[in-house]
A = this chain, B = another copy of it.
């Protein structure tokens, strides 16, 4: 059933209430035809925005102290409610974004899977970071007090979604899921490129808040004029952290605003990455056509609009590299441009392609066809060399879309030098065989300083959502390299430690109480003690 049975209202949702914005209206657009979509979305003004942040602040105390089971069940309800409207969601999102339904079905599963993964994190509880140091009254020269540490949520979080992942990095995406899992109420600034998708997800989340008996301020969804309401949200004193996925310009603007507040707050912005791929010569001894097709598939999927798109590819200068680039030319010749997310994004992509084409020492080596819909630029691969790359910063600029730059390199030393000159990236990929290990080994420490994830023999697109993933990296890939926006570690972004010294057990929060009612793993005197082992030991002692 993909018939749309949901009536969209065009309203914001502030603490469970539908609110008609008094700050103008906007419309979604079908980017494949450039036609406006109904309904009109009314935009909130700053007074209405302040209702959302005030409600989030009000919700904080109870939400941050939820029992893990209630908390996890809420996240699971959110997932179930989203799944229940899956076909409607995918249909609307596909119309609003131009992304194909198959891709959106996968993204939806990732989004609900992510909410459930965080539910399991909440139940498991290691993110609470419990550390105990029992009192040592006899310690010399001074007795040691009883000290207990745990992590608490930062406070209400502002989240800005991405245009390119209308589910997984948007209304109930990774930032929202990890902030809610941490115990932080969320005020979500709806993405105006997929307003209907946002509304459907917003209702699913709001319903989960209600069904779970939580304070309605736990989640609000506001439509607003991009820059002004976004800035107002980040300036709001109730907001204690920001999650953002989008452009470098918008991300750095939010960083500046957050740093200039009377009380500066952390901003987790995932922004710009060209995801270098390093191809070693021995790899090109195999089937270069297959390898070229895989590159083109990674490059053109979702019309190239992925943060981990392989925008930069280092290939050996000479015959093998040339043969590979010729194969890329063959593979890309058949590729047709696909509708991009918005007319603005398509125009930026074309402008980026034009600018790169104009650089001295840069040539087009492969070119696809313009798509048959609106906003579907032809995919393209350029080529240049390390000296040009190292001296012209335009070659390091991200082109958001299906455009990539191949750089011919002469030696391993030249490769390492180019890597050292790169800005921070989300990923770096190595294609190599065992014969290249000695050559590649010195590159690893260089890449560790530049990127969040290093891959071997795989393309960077496709980010697994799990416990060991890092989707992050040094600036400008993100605003804060100390974390990730995908995977379970993302919950740490919204937590801070608090210590309790000699506090009577009756006044302590559950995570640090003597009898460990939440069955948490705890670090005691610097050594991890697993809850299971503690319980086994206690049972042993009792029997």
Contacts and interface: CB of A to CB of B under 8 A. Distances in A.
B424 A61 contact: no
Interface in A52-83: 60-61, 64-65
Contacts of A444: 507, 509
A498 B266 contact: no
A499 interface: yes
15 contacts: A133-B466, A133-B468, A147-B464, A147-B468, A147-B469, A149-B468, A263-B475, A451-B498, A452-B497, A452-B498, A464-B501, A467-B525, A468-B523, A472-B496, A483-B496
Interface stretch (A124-132, A313-321, A335-343, A375-383): A124-132
B467 A496 contact: no
Given A482-B496, A521-B528, A106 B141 contact: yes
B507 A452 contact: no
B437 A468 contact: no
Given A264-B475, A464-B144, A464-B145, A469 B61 contact: no
Nearest to A130: B468
Contacts of A437: 504, 506-507
State the number of copies, please.
Answer: 2
Interface stretch (A27-35, A42-50, A211-219, A455-463): A455-463
A247 B174 CA distance: 37
Contacts of A302: none
Interface in A459-509: 462, 464, 466-470, 472, 474-476, 479-484, 488-489, 495-504, 506-507, 509
Interface centre among A64, A453, A482, A484 (most CB of B within 10 A): A482
A466 B147 contact: yes
A498 B65 contact: no
Contacts of A138: none
Interface centre among A449, A475, A506 (most CB of B within 10 A): A449
A155 interface: yes
Contacts of A480: 266
A222 B502 CA distance: 41
A467 B133 contact: yes
Contacts of A148: 468
A434 interface: yes
Interface of A: 60-61, 64-65, 106, 120-121, 124, 126, 131-133, 141-142, 144-145, 147-149, 152, 154-155, 255-256, 259, 263-264, 266, 423-424, 430, 434, 437, 440-441, 444-445, 448-449, 451-458, 462, 464, 466-470, 472, 474-476, 479-484, 488-489, 495-504, 506-507, 509, 521, 523, 525-528, 530
Contacts of A133: 464, 466-468
Contacts of A484: 497, 499
B530 A453 contact: no
Interface centre among A155, A437, A445 (most CB of B within 10 A): A445
A462 B121 CA distance: 36
A291 B495 CA distance: 36
Contacts of A525: 467
A464 B141 CA distance: 12
A483 B480 CA distance: 14
A352 to B, nearest CB: 21
Contact of A483 (B60, B497, B502, B503): B497
B507 A470 contact: no
Contact of A453 (B430, B467, B499): B499
A482 B468 contact: no
B445 A507 contact: no
A56 B528 CA distance: 33
Given A256-B259, A452-B499, 15 more contacts: A60-B449, A61-B445, A142-B462, A149-B468, A149-B469, A154-B482, A255-B264, A441-B507, A456-B503, A466-B526, A469-B499, A470-B498, A488-B526, A528-B528, A530-B530
A509 B443 CA distance: 12
A470 B130 CA distance: 12
A424 B131 CA distance: 23
7 tightest A-B contacts by CB?
A470-B499, A147-B468, A259-B259, A455-B501, A149-B468, A131-B468, A453-B499
Contacts of A475: 263-264
B502 A467 contact: no
A431 to B, nearest CB: 11
Nearest to A530: B528
Nearest to A457: B502
A59 to B, nearest CB: 13
A61 B480 CA distance: 21
A142 to B, nearest CB: 7
Contact of A65 (B141, B145, B445, B468): B445
A395 to B, nearest CB: 17
